[in-house]
Amino acid sequence: MPDASPIGIFIAGLLTLGIFSFLYKDNPVYKVCEAIFIGVSAAYWAVEYFYSALYRKFWLGVFPPAGSGVEADLLLWGGAILGALMLCRMIPKINWLSRWPLAFIVGATAGLYMMLFFVSNAMKQIESTMQPLIQDSLLETLGSFTIAIGTITGLIYFFFSKEHKGIFGGAAKVGIWVLMVTFGASFGYTVMSRMSLLIGRMDFLFNSWATNFGQMF
């Protein structure tokens, strides 16, 4: 926050300390920070959605400004009607109507994700795994075998309708180890980046905030 006001930095520092106090135990200062956070952020997103979705996407879509040359998108009314049905929830007699927009969203999400993941996850990953097993060096060859066998045994672990015993069970066991190596790798990889988050916050407290504090008083 290079251009933040001294008061802004001062408040930011207090709130930072308030959140950190939770590490010791739940306390009134944390509760105040939490309460402010909930109130302010809920309103923040309410306003953000109001202007970005309702005003910019819907309103300017169906009533484009004169002279902009954009045609009114009448299909957008569908969204508004579904949205209005959502509000029927507040009227006891017709609150069952609110299930319609919900049904719409659930259906649309199911359809969208089915295709998205089929292409980007299933097809793409299968395609990327089709690599020559024998490579230029022994190490690379070992790597190719690891990827192919690891992927296949990992998939075997996920089998639901076949009991994990015998050779199949052995393969599933290798599969879960492959998954555990993967989790360990992500875990180890993330530790440092999380530390840097804390360092960033400490830097704010000890530099920006402390300096500002000195200047204010």
Partner 1 sequence: MSQPNQNSPFCKIFPTLLSALFLFTILASSPKTLFAQDAETSVIDSTLENLVPIPARPANVKAKDHVYDIGEKVDVSWELSPDDTTGLRNVVGYIISRRLDTASDFDSVGAVFSRIASLTDIGLTKGESYQYAVTAYTSAGAVSETSVSNSVTTEQEWFDGDKFWQVLLLVIIAGSVAYFIYHAKKGKPMFLRKIAGLQAVEEAIGRATEMGRPILFIPGIHDMDDVQTIAGMTILAKVAKQVAEYESRIFVPTRASLAMTAARETVREAYMTAGRIDAYRSDDIYYVTDEQFGYVAAVNGIMTRDKPATCFYLGAFFAESLILAETGNSIGAIQIAGTAMPAQLPFFVAACDYTLIGEELFAASAYLSEDPKQMGSLKGQDVGKVVAMAAILIGAVLATLGSEEGMNIETFNSAFHAFWGVFGGGE
Partner 2 sequence: MKRTIPILITFITGGIIVLAEFIPPWAILREHVLIYFQIIAVFAFFLGGGSLLKINCQKVVRKREDWQFAIVTLVGFFIMLALGLFKMGNPEMVDLGFAADLNASGSWFKNVFDAVKAPLSASMYSLLAFFIASASYRAFRAKNSDATVLLVSAFIILLGQTFVGVVSTGWMPEWMSFFKVENLSLWLLAKANLAGQRAILIGIALGIISMSLRVILGIERTHLSGGDE
Residues between 78 and 97 with contacts to partner 1, criterion CB under 8 A: 86, 89
Sign of the torsion formed by the C-alpha atoms of 171, 175, 177 and 181: positive
Which residues have CB under 8 Å from 36's CB, separation 6+?
15
Question: Using CA of residue 163, residue 169, residue 173, residue 176, what is the dihedral sign?
Answer: negative
Spatial distance between the Cα atoms of 16 and 208, rounded to a whole number of angstroms: 12
Would you count residue 183 as binding partner 1 (CB under 8 A)? yes
Nearer to partner 2, 119 or 163 (CB): 119
Q: Is 172 in the site for partner 2 (CB under 8 A)?
A: no
Positions 159 through 178 that interact with partner 1 (CB under 8 A): 159-164
Does 5 help bind partner 1 (rule: CB under 8 A)? no
- Residue 147 CA to its chain's centroid (Å): 28
Binding letters toward partner 2, positions 138-167, x by CB under 8 A: -x--xx--xxxxxxxxxx-xx---------
Rounded Cα–Cα distance for residues 175 and 153 (Å): 4
What is the distance between the alpha carbons of residues 37 and 14, in angstroms, rounded to a whole number? 13
Q: Which residues bind partner 1 (CB under 8 A)?
A: 19, 22, 25-26, 30-31, 33-34, 37-38, 41-42, 44-46, 49, 86, 89, 98-99, 102, 105-106, 108-110, 113-115, 117-119, 122-124, 126-127, 129-136, 144, 148, 151-152, 155-156, 158-164, 179-180, 182-184, 186-187, 190
